[in-house]
Structure 1
Amino acid sequence: MSTMFRRLAEIPIPVAGTISDNVVQVTYSVRDHVQKAKKTLSKTIFINDAGLVGSGNMQEVSPEIALSAVSPSGQLRAVLRESGNGDDKKRFVEIWRGDRLEISTEVTDKHGAFYSDDYLSTLSFSPTEGAVVYTAEANPPGKDSSLLDRFRFTPSFGEGLPTRKRPTTFIYRWRDITDKDTILPTPSFSRISVSHSTTVLFGQATFISDTELLATGYEYTADGRLLGIKGCFNRLVGIWRIIIPNAGADVPDAPCSATKLTPSDRSCRSLRRIVSDPHSQSDDVFWLSTTTGGAHAGCSTLHRYNSRTTSEEPRIVLETVWEAQEDSFAGLYLDGLSQRPFLKLQGKTYMACHSMKRSRLTIFLIDVEGGSVFELTPGELDSWNVLGTDGASRIICVRSSPAEPYGIFVLQLNAQNPFSPPTQYLIDHALLPNDVEKALKTLDVSIVPIPGRYPTETVVYKSKDVGTTPPLITIPHGGPHYTPTTAFSAATIALALEGYTLSLPNYTGSLGFGEQYVQALRGNCGSLDVEDCMASVKHLVDLGIAKFGKGQQFVSGGSHGGFLAAHLIGQYPDVFSAAVLRNPVISCGELAISDIPDWAFSELGLPFTPDSLVTPEIYEHLYRASPIAHVDNVSAKVLLLIGGSDMRVPPPQAIRYYHALKARSKEVEMLWFEKEGHPLEGVEATEVGWEVARDWFKSARA
């Protein structure tokens, strides 16, 4: 196994952070290749106005903690805990005041597993900090239920969320609703039950008063589906206002009324509430939205809603940016906002968030009143992302670059002029062995625009050694509406250090260039994106960075990136000598059992409705746009890496491609990871996949 890959892959990755007063708490994700497991670690860092004062050691976060949240005042912490294994797992709701456990209640019999994902999970304190709302899986029908109820098919939320079928909102209250200083003898516990003509599954709930919630509501399609939501921001998801008439009662089901605030053509997510002064006339809630249907990701709109009134409609703070100038703000491209994105400066409210700007992530400060936007972290290669704020003038964030792992920074804004460059304080960074640090310094990374193909550009990794020209590996991204940025990537860097030049093209359809380019790819997949990728190969050859010839050009990609890699070896068989495909889309007409069957229709220019079927005419259209149409031309040796539990691109496609290549006497191998899903992101699968891919390319070098 590659020692360098392991060392790079085991560098901790910051995934969350809080800053309060002069204390920063950062959570890291770490890969353990010996135990073949991912672990969560935490570090406390102490700062002052001049920067770092000191820090504690990293400590492992208990795997029993499903989710935790700090109250707005900072005095309380709610913990959702799961202990034990399998059917013996016990669940508890805990409220901590500092180091003291104030109250704890077992809720094992109330519901199934707590939700802690990025799409449906909830853990929010009430304004008086006497209750929390959270989301968990409802118990399935019991043995006393009818056979119809017990065995009725219930859709899940798809890839990455196969156990999410019955998200249910629960309120746990331990203080009297009329007297917040009185602790109840026995905490009350209620399940939100909403009577509505449309079945709505709620998540991401937040209190706006002790008797009202705002929540995202997921709706079934007309054919009874819950279309996959992981990475898909075009679903039937709205913002709902829920009134709890008996908020202080201890009842199994709390009958509530709910009103949808958003139109059906907007898919909404990432509810975030500003904690206002109790005497304020506004209590603002923000969320992001994109268009329902169509592209699965794109430029987001930022909305604002005054929850103190029911008469005002939600307002738009930032519109979708259709056309962006080359170096200007191109719009919001992000999965979601940080848990605490707001700042208060000179009585005005701002929001800090990261977004893609061409091929890098950068941090923007948004004036939520006037809609002005200012880039706080301009640069050429550094990528930044926001972890959170202190609610006043400081932002805790992460900076990395293609050859430099994470650095944790505090950005101190100028209260007199927030739209000016902030002061930056480095408070933590990755500690690297000398040989790793030395190896990283041998890489030269640049962003290369492709002439005549705007907005296409590619992130190129190459050795600073100007000796013989190494083979080029082109790595198109998936999505297709995604962007590989200049953030640190262990697997990419490790492969470059094996003696390859790497090209990561952001072709038409990539995020961070304006919505017009997202939409430009729809209906042109399999042609425009393929041509952009091939143009990047030719341009790098023209620059002398790469060359044509046997053993000089390779390609690798996953999902839609695998779709492009398979197209490239089929459409340009004389160029590429080897390919590695990870859960690739091979035949778009065979995605009926995917959790996102609308994807092929949308991306290949066909209308999709819940009653759509793949007719012979539609199949012909999808077939001609698919890599399988070019299988006879393939001459490259092909390695397939397949997740046996992939719900997004069902494995039968790859199996069919494998046998089709075998039948044509092509050189092909397939690795099967039974329990892996679409990303192939398990510790063992990632390492094995990287190692075998490296050896596959090595065997094809000239």
Structure 2
Amino acid sequence: MESRVLRRPEHVAALYRELSQCPALCSARVGPEVTSQYGGRHCTVYTEWSQQDLERAESLKFCRQYLVFHDSQAIVYSGPAGTCSEIKGELLSRESPSGTLKAVLRKASPGKGEEKQFLEVWSQNRKVKSINLTVLEKHGNVYEDDQFGCLSWSHSETHLLYVAERKRPKAESFFQSKTLELSSDCAEEERRSKAVKGEQFVYHEDWGETLVGKSVPALCVLDVESGNVSVLEGVPEHVSPGQAFWSPGDTGVVFIGWWHEPFRLGLRHCTNRRSALFYIDLTGARCELLSDDTKAVWSPRLSPDQCRIVYLENGALGPHQQCSRLCVYDWYTKVTSTVLDVVPRQSQRPFTGIYCSALPALCWAADSQRVVLDTAQRSRQELLVVETQSGSVTSLTSGAPLGSWSALTIERDLLVAKFSTPSCPPTLKVAFLPGAGRETQVCWVCLEAAAPIPEISWAIRPLQPPLEQENPQYKGIDFEAILLQPSNGVGPRKLPLVVMPHGGPHSVYTASWMLYPAVLCRMGFAVLLVNYRGSLGFGQDSITSLPGHVGYQDVRDVQYCVERVLQEEPLDSTRVALVGGSHGGFLACHLIGQYPDTYRACVVRNPVINIASMISSTDIPDWCLTEAGFPYAPNTLPDPARWAEMLHKSPMQYVTQVQAPVLLMLGEEDRRVPPNQGLEYYRALKARGIPVRLLLYPGNNHALSSVEAEADGFMNMALWLLQHLQC
């Protein structure tokens, strides 16, 4: 009998091309309010999107603007203002508080092989300043990442604040000639005269995955009128500054400082690094600590009335992502209060806690009392409004269609958000935030719709582990999975199943648009996304239950989920495959070793294979110990018993039982799970005669997110599944 699974490579490629063109909504800004001569009010909503360009093998960025006409906190009319246009070379951009100026950090290559950074200031319809930061040589490259990076206007709109790599003295050989060649370049002569001998090859720590080369950040200020750049002094030497903004009255700068002593650990996806909120007083040249210095804090946001700063807080070390506290610091009383504390379990009210990688850049309501944020709540991403005085939490999306929401910005109570589901790409929505106590009356208006894909059906499945798989310290914790299925029926044969546990392990699948699952489902596969115990969004107890039980609790959760859906859905138990990345790859390799009779094929991206061998090469050695159940300290010494336990919890322990063919995809520049992990597994499988193929992507890190790697990876994955599931 014939299956309905799409098999021909050219058809699969065409389907991937079609769905990869669905753009991702990246950011939004609300422009100044304009009042017409007839009393009507309107504003513009500026949005930025990204999209894969397979021909250029790059991710392009484009913008589109919309008009929103409103009256008395109600939207009267909204619609696009013109077509979209591509954005070239912008690394960061920020409008001034009044909306009359815009700052842009841009990269450009004016000559062959040279790349320069420019800081531009735009006013109305022209560029009024363009500062070549590279030529000034006051600092190294400006940080454009979302970990340290910022571009902040002073309230007076006269200065710009940003973060850049601190300039290092030029280093040269001990044997460099002291005789300077005749040159008209006095600056070059001066640099040579200040060069440090014998330090060309000194190792400089950086902040790891996606932050390679970022070592010593510095706070920098541009005087917009004069064009002068200065590097702020006074930052404590033991911390690296970032996420900075101007204090009330422009008297100084507020920033987050991350401890980098005794050495730096990877920061990407790690909200557990010791850090604190600091203030540099520019009038008195002193630095002041504003928060507890034993915690991990991030994402500070100043209220519109410039009286309070809201930020997120976690415990230092432990799981890399956890349930967070929402804290508020009062600028004038100097008092810090915890608005929302860690939630151990979901109680009678539906709120399960805050699990944010960041607050929206603008998150305060106009009343400076309420904060809007998005966070996972079980397997959904919801928009919440938090009243900072009482700590009350109200969902803005509980009555909305099932799916996931993200807050992009809120300005003068006009809230801009995106919404998507596993069967519908991102749509752009706006609404006015109702007054306090009336938040549930929010009325959403769609600015940019996306067509749902009728061929995909999906549902969230709640799961309770059987009694024998309960964690005795954390009994009663449940979990969930999201099952995607082709909605046009199963055809002559039952559906093949692709099982995808997420990475982390402390992350989560939300009911949102994801390219790989969508294309697989359109091909004719059922796709099972498993949020095993330890996932975000289910309470802190769920997170805490997993460290010390990786390779056991999470593996059994996934297997139990697979067995349940095979019993209850029209799925083919003889055609089940695993796909996973990072810790998801760790679980996939565990499952094909522990349950070899269940799975017929496996595809893994940068998988953790041997925790014991990974600890000495990863940018997150603390992860290896923490997830294996041991405490971490920077001065931890090798311990044979702990290494044995880490190996015991690793997929390598079960490699002799593997029967399924394995496709490995590795990023050559991966600092998180270095490629030697996958190579170790490749050799072990080859030695045992198991069919195995390895793809090594140069220039790619842990995410394998380049357009070329993502597209090639999907095609190889799809063809591997088709071949070995005999579709």
Give the TM-score of the pair, scaled to structure 2.
0.88
1:303 is matched with which residue: 304, 327, 332? 327
Identity of aligned residues (%): 29
1:622 is matched with which residue: 646, 651, 664? 646
User: 1:539 corresponds to which residue?
Assistant: 564
1:441 is matched with which residue: 454, 459, 463? 454
Asked if the contact 1:17/1:25 (under 8 Å) is kept, the reply is yes
Q: Secondary structure at the match of 2:169?
A: coil
User: 2:671 corresponds to which residue?
Assistant: 647
Determine the C-alpha separation between the residues in 2 that align with 1:168 and 1:615.
38
Asked if the contact 1:264/1:292 (under 8 Å) is kept, the reply is no
Determine the C-alpha separation between the residues in 1 that align with 2:231 and 2:413.
38
Q: Secondary structure at the match of 1:172?
A: strand
- Aligned CA distance change for structure 1 residues 348 and 219 (closer, same or farther; 3 Å): closer
User: Which residues in structure 2 correspond to 1:142-541 (within 5 Å)?
Assistant: 142-143=170-171, 144-147=194-197, 149-174=199-224, 184=225, 186-194=226-234, 196=236, 198-208=237-247, 209-222=249-262, 225-245=263-283, 256-276=285-305, 283-309=307-333, 312-325=334-347, 328-344=350-366, 347=367, 349-378=369-398, 379=400, 381-390=402-411, 392-415=412-435, 417-430=437-450, 440-452=453-465, 454-464=477-487, 465-467=489-491, 468-541=493-566
Q: Secondary structure at the match of 1:152?
A: coil
- TM-superposition CA deviations, 1:139-175 (whole Å, max 9, x none): 332143323544321111100111211211101123x
Correspondence 1:579 to 2:602:
yes
Determine the C-alpha separation between the residues in 2 that align with 1:261 and 1:86.
47
Asked if the contact 1:9/1:491 (under 8 Å) is kept, the reply is no
2:26 is matched with which residue: 3, 15, 20? 15
- Supply the AA of the counterpart residue of 2:142: F
- Aligned CA distance change for structure 1 residues 416 and 642 (closer, same or farther; 3 Å): closer
Correspondence 1:131 to 2:159:
yes
- TM-superposition CA deviations, 1:388-445 (whole Å, max 9, x none): 012x222100011111111111122333743223011001123x6xxxx6xx212210
Asked if the contact 2:138/2:231 (under 8 Å) is kept, the reply is no
- Aligned CA distance change for structure 1 residues 18 and 691 (closer, same or farther; 3 Å): same
1:608 is matched with which residue: 629, 632, 637? 632
Determine the C-alpha separation between the residues in 2 that align with 1:572 and 1:135.
50
User: 1:179 corresponds to which residue?
Assistant: none
1:337 CA displacement: 1.0
Asked if the contact 2:479/2:538 (under 8 Å) is kept, the reply is no
Asked if the contact 1:51/1:426 (under 8 Å) is kept, the reply is no
- Supply the AA of the counterpart residue of 1:689: G
Instruction: Indicate the RMSD between aligned Cα atoms, in angstroms.
Output: 1.8
- TM-superposition CA deviations, 1:558-590 (whole Å, max 9, x none): 000000000000000111110001000000001
Determine the C-alpha separation between the residues in 2 that align with 1:386 and 1:100.
31
1:238 CA displacement: 1.3
Moved more, 534-543 or 465-474: 465-474
Correspondence 1:692 to 2:713:
no
Asked if the contact 2:356/2:374 (under 8 Å) is kept, the reply is yes
Determine the C-alpha separation between the residues in 2 that align with 1:341 and 1:593.
38
Determine the C-alpha separation between the residues in 2 that align with 1:105 and 1:559.
41
Aligned residue pairs total 660
Determine the C-alpha separation between the residues in 2 that align with 1:245 and 1:613.
46
Moved more, 504-513 or 95-104: 95-104
Q: Secondary structure at the match of 1:661?
A: helix
Q: Secondary structure at the match of 2:371?
A: strand
- TM-superposition CA deviations, 1:468-492 (whole Å, max 9, x none): 3111111000000001111111211
1:195 CA displacement: 6.0
1:58 is matched with which residue: 79, 84, 94? 84
Determine the C-alpha separation between the residues in 1 that align with 2:660 and 2:509.
25
User: 2:593 corresponds to which residue?
Assistant: 570
1:87 CA displacement: 6.0
Asked if the contact 1:409/1:425 (under 8 Å) is kept, the reply is yes
User: 1:98 corresponds to which residue?
Assistant: 124
1:609 CA displacement: 0.5
Moved more, 80-89 or 110-119: 80-89
Moved more, 374-383 or 562-571: 374-383
Moved more, 35-44 or 454-463: 454-463
- Supply the AA of the counterpart residue of 1:635: Q
User: 2:115 corresponds to which residue?
Assistant: 89
1:130 CA displacement: 1.2
- TM-superposition CA deviations, 1:242-283 (whole Å, max 9, x none): 12238xxxxxxxxx422222223311111211232xxxxx62
Determine the C-alpha separation between the residues in 1 that align with 2:413 and 2:212.
40
Give the TM-score of the pair, scaled to structure 1.
0.91
Determine the C-alpha separation between the residues in 1 that align with 2:539 and 2:364.
25
- Supply the AA of the counterpart residue of 1:444: S
- Structure 1 segments unaligned to the other structure (5+ residues): 175-183, 247-255, 277-281
2:144 is matched with which residue: 86, 109, 116? 116
- TM-superposition CA deviations, 1:359-406 (whole Å, max 9, x none): 11110011122211100111563111011012x222100011111111
- Aligned CA distance change for structure 1 residues 416 and 663 (closer, same or farther; 3 Å): closer
Determine the C-alpha separation between the residues in 2 that align with 1:30 and 1:243.
42
- Aligned CA distance change for structure 1 residues 360 and 599 (closer, same or farther; 3 Å): same
- Supply the AA of the counterpart residue of 1:238: A
Asked if the contact 1:642/1:670 (under 8 Å) is kept, the reply is yes
- Structure 2 segments unaligned to the other structure (5+ residues): 1-9, 34-42, 70-74, 172-193, 467-476
Determine the C-alpha separation between the residues in 2 that align with 1:409 and 1:509.
32
- Aligned CA distance change for structure 1 residues 301 and 582 (closer, same or farther; 3 Å): same
1:348 CA displacement: 5.6
1:96 CA displacement: 2.3
User: 1:556 corresponds to which residue?
Assistant: 579
Asked if the contact 1:141/1:149 (under 8 Å) is kept, the reply is no
Determine the C-alpha separation between the residues in 1 that align with 2:620 and 2:295.
18
1:68 is matched with which residue: 82, 89, 93? 93
Moved more, 84-93 or 467-476: 84-93
Determine the C-alpha separation between the residues in 2 that align with 1:478 and 1:86.
40
Correspondence 1:35 to 2:46:
no
Determine the C-alpha separation between the residues in 2 that align with 1:421 and 1:569.
49
Asked if the contact 1:363/1:384 (under 8 Å) is kept, the reply is yes
Determine the C-alpha separation between the residues in 2 that align with 1:219 and 1:544.
51
Q: Secondary structure at the match of 1:6?
A: helix
Moved more, 636-645 or 100-109: 100-109
Determine the C-alpha separation between the residues in 2 that align with 1:414 and 1:235.
37
Determine the C-alpha separation between the residues in 2 that align with 1:53 and 1:579.
46
1:462 CA displacement: 0.8
Determine the C-alpha separation between the residues in 2 that align with 1:641 and 1:195.
42
Determine the C-alpha separation between the residues in 1 that align with 2:350 and 2:198.
57
- Aligned CA distance change for structure 1 residues 577 and 370 (closer, same or farther; 3 Å): same
Determine the C-alpha separation between the residues in 2 that align with 1:348 and 1:296.
31
User: 2:684 corresponds to which residue?
Assistant: 660
1:502 CA displacement: 0.7
Q: Secondary structure at the match of 2:655?
A: helix
- TM-superposition CA deviations, 1:98-122 (whole Å, max 9, x none): 2233333332222222211110001
